[in-house]
Structure 1
């Protein structure tokens, strides 16, 4: 949802969006308190992040955003999950070679997945989840937050207002957190 919102904002604001991998599987490693179904999803989630990292390494930064969108559409909006059909469809849509799928079944790219995840955690701290967004902060610094977690993704003027509000928060020295409990699951409009 956050990625869809950022793309909406980029229609009205000059954003320099750089997509990075953050892995819920890495974030939740070693947690024994997770339900079996969720642990299974985390294991299956390695394939898409490996695919994105391999594609970035082999074909450059410009493929990451479109591949991320194609994967998200299939995994979440179409409800296919992170399986073979979603991955092969995303590769076909983005014009990437199908043999990239070979990169998802082994741990060759796991160090890069972990490094990207660590980069996000280093920006915001250990007590967060995904997404992480980095914004311009006070006096030329960069401020990062966990979130925003929004559903559905704001569109039009609402998207721009949220962006402008986050910039205000990022420019406030000492601001750290806003949070409330979720009242609904993802809404894909």
Structure 2
């Protein structure tokens, strides 16, 4: 008798590599894959596009505006990589970039992108996409798929659960093992509730990448 593998639920996850909160949530989703029949479907969004072009409130500080301009770089490289090798490469590439940006705290290191490309077996020439607008329309299209559902008053991460796109969960630290699965179960129940919009509390600590 052949043992049939359970059908996996696709969990679309939109990320900007620069966001530390999305990074923590993405590590939780990898844990969920180990304890629930779930497969992460990695998608790109852009904090730069959201904050510099979409939102009507342009009251950004000079420092934050500069950070947003810089944020284009890594997500453009992700878009170029997906165009080159297919969207399945986004998960490994995001892990390679995010580990360096967040766990290793190398946000100002210009070698992060080329190292991440090398680790995932991608051409180093894709690094040139960081300063090119060639793939911006692909980024906007992926981004709009999520934000047309959740609205512009949220950020990243955006996660689609059971056909419903939600902002979050925003986590200080990624739950592991069965705790990760239980959080997923709760989100499934919330997402299935007709008319559900929001749960939130103020953040009082920085993200932990342990």
Contact 1:47 / 1:82 at 8 angstroms: preserved in 2? Answer: no
Counting matched residue pairs gives 184
Contact 1:2 / 1:153 at 8 angstroms: preserved in 2? Answer: yes
Determine the C-alpha separation between the residues in 1 that align with 2:108 and 2:188.
Answer: 33
> How big is the shift at 1:79?
1.2
User: Does 2:128 match 1:107?
Assistant: no
Contact 1:44 / 1:83 at 8 angstroms: preserved in 2? Answer: no
Determine the C-alpha separation between the residues in 1 that align with 2:51 and 2:151.
Answer: 15
User: Does 2:169 match 1:143?
Assistant: no
Name the one with the larger strand percent: 2
Which residue is equivalent to 1:139?
none
User: Does 2:93 match 1:77?
Assistant: no
Q: Normalising by structure 2, what TM-score? A: 0.84
Residues 133-176 of structure 1 show CA distances to partners (whole Å, capped at 9, x for unaligned) of 0011xxxxx11100000011111121111000000101111111
Determine the C-alpha separation between the residues in 1 that align with 2:132 and 2:103.
Answer: 27
Contact 1:133 / 1:146 at 8 angstroms: preserved in 2? Answer: yes
> How big is the shift at 1:84?
2.3
RMSD between superposed Cα atoms in Å? 1.3
Determine the C-alpha separation between the residues in 1 that align with 2:129 and 2:153.
Answer: 31
Determine the C-alpha separation between the residues in 2 that align with 1:82 and 1:10.
Answer: 31
The 4+ residue runs of structure 1 with deviation greater than 4 A are none
Which residue is equivalent to 1:163?
184
> How big is the shift at 1:83?
4.8
* Partner SS, residue 41 of structure 2: coil
User: Does 2:198 match 1:177?
Assistant: yes
Q: Give the 3 Å change call, closer, same or farther, for CA 82–27 of structure 1 in structure 2.
A: farther
Determine the C-alpha separation between the residues in 2 that align with 1:147 and 1:59.
Answer: 28
Contact 1:45 / 1:82 at 8 angstroms: preserved in 2? Answer: no
> How big is the shift at 1:36?
2.0
> How big is the shift at 1:182?
0.4
* Partner SS, residue 94 of structure 2: helix
5+ long unaligned stretches in structure 1: 137-141
Determine the C-alpha separation between the residues in 2 that align with 1:85 and 1:42.
Answer: 19
Greater displacement, 178-187 / 38-47: 38-47
* Partner SS, residue 107 of structure 1: coil
Determine the C-alpha separation between the residues in 1 that align with 2:179 and 2:94.
Answer: 23
* Partner SS, residue 52 of structure 2: coil
1:86-97 mapped onto 2 (5 Å cutoff): 86-97=112-123
Q: Give the 3 Å change call, closer, same or farther, for CA 150–89 of structure 1 in structure 2.
A: same
